[in-house]
A and B are shown apart, each in its own frame.
Chain A
């Protein structure tokens, strides 16, 4: 089978302009995109840069975009792509700085973000000899998070990282979530305190793109939501966003709908004078346009009592 590839090229250095190279390759019928890249480097262009390791879809090192769709180049088959005719486009995954060609900067994109989350267990009982009994349901949750192969596709799908590269991102948060329900760990509270800081778990906007993009069905967004819930349960709620969530829930429980003015004030914190001062220009503009919600003067909506009962039931269930 003959296939034509259009491959993204970029020389190292911030100022180099990206381009494309095209290659025509003769391949076996069951060839993968990785086979094609290896053949191109070996026979046509030794300067082509790309990564790969396990060749079997285990390790996540060779993640690229093939015809605009994220894929592991070692498991993506060429035949169905070549059958469509035209060039097969191979590009680095999005949201990630490129070092050279298809080689993305995993250090900045993934490893350093993970490193910032205290990504190791502090064992409660490092020297014990007896076999501990642990419910496999707990272990299954840990296994699910640890089936992650660090392919970066959740971060690639993330809608926050393109606007704020300092956000720790769903991959690092998924890694951190691996410890959350592990009874052997004693650093969970400390880790949650690290992650409640700005650029941490509260910067996720739960758009669910991470879960859509994860090829292992780990559902990173759900892992992040679990982590926030756990933070609440442990009383790690002094962060602004945590206050926002508490005020939000309290308002709906109280009146059946959202007291937006009060939400703004309580999110900043009643004693946070500088934070409250920052709200004033927005409040002034809203007043000028007749759209100011008056905080605390917030009538109950019809059916509010039923909504409150639903919330109370859910709260009882949580306990």
Chain B
């Protein structure tokens, strides 16, 4: 058993930033991550990081764009506070050594990205997330925070309605340990691996959301899932940053450019592509007008990966594309400081939902959110830990959790596999809970997920070896995805309108009489229950 003031779960951008902030606030901190921080899904964020730093820009203009992308569902007070904090949070990254691209005058070069009304996305070539992640990890190391990499958190430990720590499995040692904490911060990233195809890393399976959900914490706006419009669907689905559109790239259907997409929100671009595909046109991305030299200079990674993965020369060939599940907009319900309704439990980054994004996220905001709200959650958790009593981690919990995991392992013959269930779930979610949904499809999805969960309950882990038991990890991750998929489908069925990222073919219009409230799903007696939460007006 180890004891800390603050335990952070998840080593991506939000978790690293939270850990640094908590440490700077005087807390004794540890960070647990199922993959090394330099292997997290943060590396996949390409295009940029928003901050209203331009002379033509302001926090007010930035807030206006966030509210527009959120399609009437943002909490304005959260948006205002975030827009005011963004510039400082991104400047902090600059001070700590992020090599943002600069113009001839040595000042930040900024991209106009997605539906931003200004050029406000700072960027590092087409590797913004990869580089920001490294800078955050550098500062995490500088702060001297203990890292438990390759540690998989298996449960939250709750005592008297307060989270007092976690149990975790060390994948390398094969041993379970308890981590007592005065405060726990979940920063486990998204969950869109439940969709196939998907743009995200293998481990983006919503483990943190599932831990909170099972502990009775509500999940908010789960129905809002962003699809990325520019994905080469072959192989493992290769995402191309929308920044290419700002640089002159074009989406073409049947050889003709699709009109009116300049500055459109992500969901509008997805709709246009989906519509064209339904009309029978081959949809492709044409980057040739950017020019070979400029393309290679500005998007080196994109050019390299299209060559290796798709065998395409982006400077000459057109690239087949389709919208693919990308990032959740919703997640664990929190306050602006990252506090969940559970005492001692905080959440930040992509796994959390604090009302900033409403029904859709502005392009280029994901990394800004990670650093702004990561820092706030870290500070809030450290303050909570200072005031809180010592955690009373029930000694028997660790033994119980060991027994639970041991009971999953069996060599009995079983034809079914985690991979098969995941493949079926992924195709189901893409088809029935994808960019366009309807009541019948969502009900069918719910029934089918129910059946998949029954199969999952009979499934066993067949690898008996303790060390690097990825068979067990895949099993646990699948459990997270099934639970969240069920909650997502319930949330999507409950919202009988189309808004932001949520598009219903049976309710194609936005309905402000019923729609301006957050959807929350809570686990009640093992089943998801949908409710609403008022949008907090300014």
* A253: Cβ under 8 A from any B Cβ: no
* Pair B417/A32 contact, Cβ less than 8 Å: no
Which one, A100, A139, A184, contacts B102 given CB within 8 A?
Answer: A139
Of A34-42, A220-228, A268-276, the stretch lying at the interface with chain B is A34-42
* A53: Cβ under 8 A from any B Cβ: yes
* Chain B interface, number of residues (Cβ within 8 angstroms): 68
Residues in chain B near residue A35, CB distance under 8 A: 236
Please judge, given known A-B contacts A126-B95, A135-B106, whether A143 and B131 are in contact too, CB under 8 Å: yes
Please judge, given known A-B contacts A53-B202, A54-B201, whether A42 and B420 are in contact too, CB under 8 Å: yes
Residue in B closest to A43 when the chains form the complex, CB atoms: B417
Q: How many A-B residue pairs have CB under 8 A?
A: 174
* Pair A120/B38 contact, Cβ less than 8 Å: no
Complex Cα distance, B97 from A105, in Å, reads 29
Residues in chain A near residue B53, CB distance under 8 A: 131
Interface residues of B in 265-317 (CB under 8 A from A): 300-301, 304-305, 308-309
Query: Which among B99, B142, B420 has the greatest number of chain A C-beta atoms within 10 A?
Result: B99
Complex Cα distance, B234 from A77, in Å, reads 11
Residues in chain A near residue B172, CB distance under 8 A: 99
Residues in chain A near residue B94, CB distance under 8 A: 131-132
* Pair A136/B106 contact, Cβ less than 8 Å: yes
Residues in chain B near residue A61, CB distance under 8 A: 35-36, 39
* Chain A interface, number of residues (Cβ within 8 angstroms): 62
Which one, A52, A100, A127, A133, contacts B468 given CB within 8 A?
Answer: A100
Complex Cα distance, B471 from A49, in Å, reads 9
Complex Cα distance, B171 from A103, in Å, reads 12
* A280: Cβ under 8 A from any B Cβ: no
Residues in chain B near residue A115, CB distance under 8 A: 141
* B101: Cβ under 8 A from any A Cβ: yes
B101 CB to nearest A CB, Å: 6
B455 CB to nearest A CB, Å: 14
* Pair B97/A57 contact, Cβ less than 8 Å: no
Of B222-230, B387-395, B457-465, B494-502, the stretch lying at the interface with chain A is B457-465
Contact with A along B104-137 (1 / 0, CB 8 A): 1111110000000000000011010011001100
* Pair A139/B95 contact, Cβ less than 8 Å: no
* Pair A41/B201 contact, Cβ less than 8 Å: no
Please judge, given known A-B contacts A56-B236, A61-B39, A143-B125, whether A129 and B134 are in contact too, CB under 8 Å: no
* B239: Cβ under 8 A from any A Cβ: yes
* Chain A interface SS verdict (over half): loop
Contact with A along B171-213 (1 / 0, CB 8 A): 0100000000000000000000000000001110000000000
Complex Cα distance, B141 from A46, in Å, reads 35
* B67: Cβ under 8 A from any A Cβ: no
B475 CB to nearest A CB, Å: 10
Which one, B35, B40, B105, B419, contacts A133 given CB within 8 A?
Answer: B105
* Pair A120/B130 contact, Cβ less than 8 Å: no
* Pair B138/A121 contact, Cβ less than 8 Å: yes
Complex Cα distance, B100 from A182, in Å, reads 12
B87 CB to nearest A CB, Å: 9
A96 CB to nearest B CB, Å: 15
Contact with A along B236-262 (1 / 0, CB 8 A): 111100000000000000000000000
Please judge, given known A-B contacts A54-B201, A56-B236, A132-B94, whether A99 and B467 are in contact too, CB under 8 Å: yes
Interface residues of A in 197-229 (CB under 8 A from B): none
* A97: Cβ under 8 A from any B Cβ: no
* Pair B202/A57 contact, Cβ less than 8 Å: no
Some 11 contacts from A to B, beta carbons below 8 A apart, are: A42-B420, A56-B305, A57-B309, A58-B44, A100-B465, A123-B97, A131-B108, A133-B107, A136-B102, A149-B130, A182-B97
- Pick the 5 closest A-B CB pairs, nearest first: A42-B419, A133-B106, A120-B138, A142-B99, A121-B97
